[in-house]
Chains A and B, each alone.
Chain A
Amino acid sequence: MSAAIERRAIVVVGGGPAGLAAAIAAYEAGEHDVLILERDTQLGGILNQCIHNGFGLHTFKEELTGPEYAQRFIDRADELGIERRLGTMVLDISSERVVTTVSAANGIDRIQAGAVVLAMGCRERPRGALATPGYRPAGVYSAGTAQRLVNIEGQLPGREVVILGSGDIGLIMARRMTLEGAHVACVAEIMPYSGGLKRNIVQCLDDFGIPLLLSHTVVDVEGRDRVEAVTIAQVDERLKPIPGTEVRYPCDTLMLSVGLLPENELSREAGVELSPVTRGPVVDQSLQTSVAGIFACGNVLHVHDLVDFVSQEAAAAGTQAARYVMADAEEASASRGIPVAATDGVRYTVPSFIDPQRMDDTLTVRFRVANEFRDRYVSVYLDDERIQHRKKRVMAPGEMEQVVLKRADLLAREGLSQITVKLEEA
């Protein structure tokens, strides 16, 4: 253990779209000592299994599939010669930014990073978290696992399918399974609205006549070795099944698409403060977490539905990480800034603290709403003064929203103590 510990300016944990964009931006901001650590054998993250199109229209003005979108960033990282270690899993990050990795090639390694960018993505909510009773027979898959099986391994998980949960992966898989010759009986969603993008409901369900049953859930799974049937019932406002509404669907596969959770085991161990709402780190205007020099972006910060926004956010995190290591670290880790409150239908904002002295001329604040809303105004208040008021025809929990704040506006208010983002009826 006497060997000197490896020192790197910026270590990016995760080589998905967030990690790639962060590494590229850090390099372009002038810090060339950047290292990407990725546990998989290739870069690109979840995009490798997202073979459908719909990525990057806002970034590249053309509609790409997941692998194509990832390749653009991989090519750029190659061009810049950004170093990456594949097949390398990060086991631990300390609050002093010592990153411990394990790989088949090198065993256990430790790296002292000047700054760390967290870009580990998210994982699917496990089925154990669901209250579906009965045995746990084969044939119950999370939608993401099924996606991997079909698109990467080339195996069809089943022929007669029921999907629980209308998250995007479930919707995408409803179409995918149909194209592969399976029959998808229905998608059941316990909430009165879908958790997925509207475009996916149109082109993955409506196009194929697959019914979306809102306010419905699975109340029984039959079969000991393999799923034989599931029973679906309607639920009341309190999400309790309504007796007498049960319908039995014979099937061999139950697919679960019940949400994603940011992957924050490592962040927690590093002492990073996590938000109970997003389950991701609490960050300031620089996307810096509560631990100095540790930044976060992409799905590890909050779950995104649009990769374009992941790339933008990650580029900001990478740039800030580069500034952090190139500047005086002490200067960079001063006060936390002004809290951003999310109220009246706004569930959370990222960031949740803003220091006007340190922000760029403009700052994008992303948020999600708590329910489906029509014809509401998105308002921004600086203390009690309303400075933005913009009407939106439709907002839904499945779609991320944003407001752009101007530094000049914030600086113009002396003694500013709170920024509020909320929805208003007029």
Chain B
Amino acid sequence: MAQETRELICINCPMGCPLTVTLEDGVVTSVSGNTCPRGDAYGRKEVTNPTRIVTTTVPVDGSATERMVSVKTALDIPKGKIFDVVRELSGVRAQAPVEIGDVVLANVAGTGVDVIATKRA
């Protein structure tokens, strides 16, 4: 039985709690150091299937106030797909009026996750 511990920093919020994840034969058996349940979930996921929210901007046409509109993936996407997401967004332009939550690009990079606006424009 192979026991292994990994030290991680929870990135779910800026508190940045230091986590210790214990694995037995590649299966997570415990997470400690977290302040809230999100830390536990993060610790389990980070050692098996790390994911991230991606934030960036796209140009917006027809807005009186904004040149760029900020966007994010509505949910976490696999960490290995960060650059695919950014690449797919590189040709995309938004059209004013834009509301927070509007879908700017659906199902980005085959992740099943939409890219949505985070600012009005």
Residues of A within 8 A of B (CB): 41-42, 48, 51-54, 57-58, 63-65, 67-68, 71, 150-154, 176, 179-180, 197-199, 201-203, 207, 305-306, 393-394, 399
Q: A254 CB to closest chain B CB, in angstroms?
A: 23
**Inter-subunit contact A199/B14 (CB<8 Å):** yes
- The reply to whether the CB of B13 lies closer than 8 angstroms to some CB of chain A is yes
**Inter-subunit contact A67/B70 (CB<8 Å):** yes
When C-beta atoms are compared, the residue in chain A nearest to B53 turns out to be A53
Given contacts A51-B118, A151-B68, A394-B18, A202 and B55 within 8 Å (CB-CB): no
**Inter-subunit contact B70/A151 (CB<8 Å):** yes
Which of A151, A153, A305 gathers most chain B CB within 10 Å? A151
**Inter-subunit contact A67/B118 (CB<8 Å):** yes
**Inter-subunit contact A153/B68 (CB<8 Å):** yes
The stretch of B4-12, B23-31, B106-114 in contact with A is: B4-12
Given contacts A53-B72, A63-B53, A67-B70, A199 and B13 within 8 Å (CB-CB): yes
Question: Interface code B47-66, partner A: CB below 8 Å = 1, 0 otherwise?
Answer: 00000111111010000010
- The reply to whether the CB of B41 lies closer than 8 angstroms to some CB of chain A is no
- The reply to whether the CB of B82 lies closer than 8 angstroms to some CB of chain A is yes
**Inter-subunit contact A399/B82 (CB<8 Å):** no
Residues of B within 8 A of A (CB): 8-16, 18, 33, 38, 52-57, 59, 65, 67-68, 70, 72, 79, 82-83, 86, 100, 118-120
**Inter-subunit contact A202/B11 (CB<8 Å):** yes
B contact residues around A48 at 8 Å (CB): 119
**Inter-subunit contact B53/A207 (CB<8 Å):** no
Q: A203 CB to closest chain B CB, in angstroms?
A: 5
When C-beta atoms are compared, the residue in chain A nearest to B56 turns out to be A179
B contact residues around A53 at 8 Å (CB): 53, 55, 72
Please name 13 further chain A to chain B contacts, defined as beta carbons within 8 Å, in addition to the given A57-B12, A64-B118, A399-B16, sorted by A numbering.
Answer: A53-B55, A54-B14, A57-B14, A63-B13, A65-B55, A65-B119, A68-B119, A153-B68, A154-B57, A179-B86, A198-B18, A202-B9, A207-B52
**Inter-subunit contact A199/B72 (CB<8 Å):** no
A contact residues around B12 at 8 Å (CB): 57, 63, 199
B contact residues around A399 at 8 Å (CB): 16
Given contacts A53-B55, A68-B118, A71-B120, A154 and B13 within 8 Å (CB-CB): no
When C-beta atoms are compared, the residue in chain A nearest to B52 turns out to be A203
**Inter-subunit contact A51/B120 (CB<8 Å):** no
**Inter-subunit contact A199/B9 (CB<8 Å):** yes
B contact residues around A393 at 8 Å (CB): 18, 33
A contact residues around B82 at 8 Å (CB): 179, 207
Q: A59 CB to closest chain B CB, in angstroms?
A: 11
**Inter-subunit contact A58/B13 (CB<8 Å):** yes
B contact residues around A67 at 8 Å (CB): 70, 100, 118-119
Q: A121 CB to closest chain B CB, in angstroms?
A: 18
A contact residues around B10 at 8 Å (CB): 199
When C-beta atoms are compared, the residue in chain A nearest to B11 turns out to be A199
Which of B11, B12, B18, B86 gathers most chain A CB within 10 Å? B11
Given contacts A71-B100, A203-B11, A51 and B56 within 8 Å (CB-CB): yes
**Inter-subunit contact A57/B13 (CB<8 Å):** yes
**Inter-subunit contact A65/B70 (CB<8 Å):** yes
Which of B9, B14, B53, B57 gathers most chain A CB within 10 Å? B14
Assembly CA distance A150 to B55 (angstroms): 13
Assembly CA distance A9 to B8 (angstroms): 50
When C-beta atoms are compared, the residue in chain B nearest to A64 turns out to be B118
B contact residues around A154 at 8 Å (CB): 57, 59, 67-68
Assembly CA distance A51 to B15 (angstroms): 19
Given contacts A42-B65, A151-B57, A54 and B52 within 8 Å (CB-CB): no
**Inter-subunit contact A152/B67 (CB<8 Å):** yes
B contact residues around A57 at 8 Å (CB): 12-14, 38
**Inter-subunit contact A54/B119 (CB<8 Å):** no
Assembly CA distance A48 to B72 (angstroms): 14
When C-beta atoms are compared, the residue in chain A nearest to B68 turns out to be A154
**Inter-subunit contact B65/A65 (CB<8 Å):** no
**Inter-subunit contact B57/A52 (CB<8 Å):** no
5 A-B pairs within 8 Å (CB atoms) are namely: A51-B70, A63-B53, A65-B72, A199-B12, A207-B79
Given contacts A65-B70, A153-B68, A51 and B13 within 8 Å (CB-CB): no
Assembly CA distance A393 to B18 (angstroms): 8
A contact residues around B33 at 8 Å (CB): 393
Assembly CA distance A68 to B86 (angstroms): 20
